[in-house]
Structure 1
Amino acid sequence: MQTPYILVAPTGARRTKQDHPNLPIQMDEIIQSAAACFAAGAHGLHLHVRDDAGQHTLDPGIYRETLAELETHLPDMGVQITTEAAGVFDVATQLACLDGVKPRWASISVREIARDPALADRVYGTCVDNGTKVQHILYDVADVALLADWHSRGIVRADQTSVIFVLGRYTTGQVSHPSDLTPFLETFENRGPWMVCAFGQNEHACLHAAAQHGGDLRVGFENNLLDGHGAQFTDNAASVNALADTLKAAP
């Protein structure tokens, strides 16, 4: 099995210290968590930032400051920012974030951008202009179809093919299964680079299945806090390390 790219998502937009005391929220915590995850085998970081009240934000200034610190401390670790709306931000704010930060890499949900179709072309064009690599977030096969339509119409540019398939949702007790990947693979035609993340304590089983199909992997507290036996990982690095060990042991 080819070694997959491992992206760690240590924070997310919704969880707090009440969910896990080692959830990294402050910038210094994010840097420390990223460093530990990099040492444990993660290749990249999926970055969420919070405001002074600890709430999810798309503030360009906070992003730029955090990215600068990450570049200083972890120059060899890839960093992807999120544009996740999280039920708070509109498409105009997402566009302003992309234009204000000019990140090297960003995740963008086609479903969220479709809330304001008039801005869709500008969102993806801005990424081209700023040299931002796009990873499209796909929650179901309807999102796969939407992305294919936007590709055919030139809204999403021809080389913007990278995707992440999301198995499961932010719901209490959510447990994803490896079979949840099948509909995505059956309908994904462009076959650009693809990645998987999965909610619930079957996260690592889902990621292992994705790796066996040639996919890359996103792991971390944004999607799951638990090992396969239902016990909490001590921190994100422990989850990354466990995943790396599973992959090394695979035939």
Structure 2
Amino acid sequence: MNMKHPFVMVAPNGARRGKADHPALPVTMEDILSTASTCFAAGANGLHLHVRDDSGLHSLDAGRYRETLAALEQAVPEMRLQITTESGGRFDVAQQLHCLREVKPSWASVSVREVMRSPELADTVYGTMAENGTEVQHILYDPKDAEQLRQWQAEGIVRAHQTSVIFVLGKYTPPVAAVPSDLNAHLDGHDANAPWMVCAFGQNEHECLLEAARRGGNLRVGFENNLEDNGNGMFEDNAQSVTSLLNSLKRIAA
């Protein structure tokens, strides 16, 4: 198969899971650094970063982000780093904007649906990222989110260069396991020139990602979205999930 090798990002923890879900899920900064190192060694190109507060809860604290990013840049200097602005049910758009302003990350994921909670701030959110040189990856949960993104692009609220998206297949809560055919609705009407990535909830995660790779997409894999080895028990850690995915990519590309 003539298939380009996708960019592979690991999302090792997310906003909601903890050690009770899997003992190898990274929560502390030390956990995150160790996971980043093992996943980079396994072949992951990038890291989708969530930080936690002292109680282990999802955080958008700028100081924690800056400290963790600095440590990651030392530990895995060749790994691309992306922060999340996910609300996690805790933060409003003004707080998400404050995080972007204070951290000034090189790359951030931003949910169109979440920004729509305060549409009067949308121009400032995307303008702040443009001014700070932050690459944005728009999180799209369904075609309605894509329609809103296109509207903001037409209005100039989303800047012309801010085209990259990630399609979310399935749901974390209430749990809905993704299937490869879920990708069809997202790709229908998508600009073929705009970079796209896929993440998929549930035990069919790798099957969905392989289908995305066949169709030219980039991939996000890890414990944020799935802990299970397709019915064969849980992965030992994030690095094992990355390794399994990359081995499967090699097989379908052969």
- Which TM-score applies when normalising by structure 2? 0.97
Any idea what SS the aligned residue of 2:108 has? strand
Cα distance in 1 for partners of 2:46, 2:54 equals 25
Deviation digits for residues 75-130 of structure 1 (CA, Å, limit 9, x no counterpart):
10000000000111000000000000000000000100010011100000000111
Specify the SS of the correspondent of 2:188: helix
Matches within 5 A, 1:88-167: 88-167=90-169
Q: Name the SS for the 1:37 alignment partner.
A: helix
* Equivalent residue letter for 2:158: V
1:250 maps to what in 2?
Answer: 252
Contact 1:105-1:133 within 8 A present in 2 as well: yes
The answer to whether the 8 A contact 1:201-1:230 is kept is no
Percent of residue pairs identical: 61
Greater mean alpha carbon deviation, residues 16-25 or residues 173-182: 173-182
Please state how far the C-alpha of 1:7 moved relative to its aligned partner: 0.4
Residue pairs, 1:24-43, within 5 angstroms: 24-43=26-45
- Structure-to-structure mapping, 1:1-251, within 5 angstroms: 1-171=3-173, 173-189=175-191, 191-251=193-253
Gaps of 5+ in 1: none
Q: Report the AA paired with residue 61 of structure 2.
A: D
| Aligned-residue CA RMSD (Å) | 0.9
User: Runs of at least 4 residues of structure 1 off by over 3 A?
Assistant: none
5+ residue gaps, structure 2, are: none
Contact 1:175 1:200 in 2 (8 A): yes
CA distance in 2, matches of 1:173, 1:146: 25
Q: Are the aligned partners of 1:161 and 1:190 in contact in 2 as well (CA < 8 Å)?
A: no
The one-letter code sitting in structure 1 at the alignment partner of 2:21 is D
Shift of residue 189, structure 1, vs aligned partner: 2.9
Aligned AA (2:171):
R
Letter in 2 for 1:162: S
Matches of 1:191 and 1:228 in 2, distance apart?
Answer: 32
Q: Which amino acid aligns with 2:135?
A: K
> 2:166 is paired with a residue of what secondary structure?
strand
- State the distance in 1 between where 2:65 and 2:234 align: 29
TM-score calculated relative to the size of structure 1: 0.98
**1:190 Cα offset (Å):** 6.2
Partners of 2:16 and 2:184 in 1: how far apart? Answer: 27
Give 1:187 shift. 2.4
Equivalenced residues, count: 251
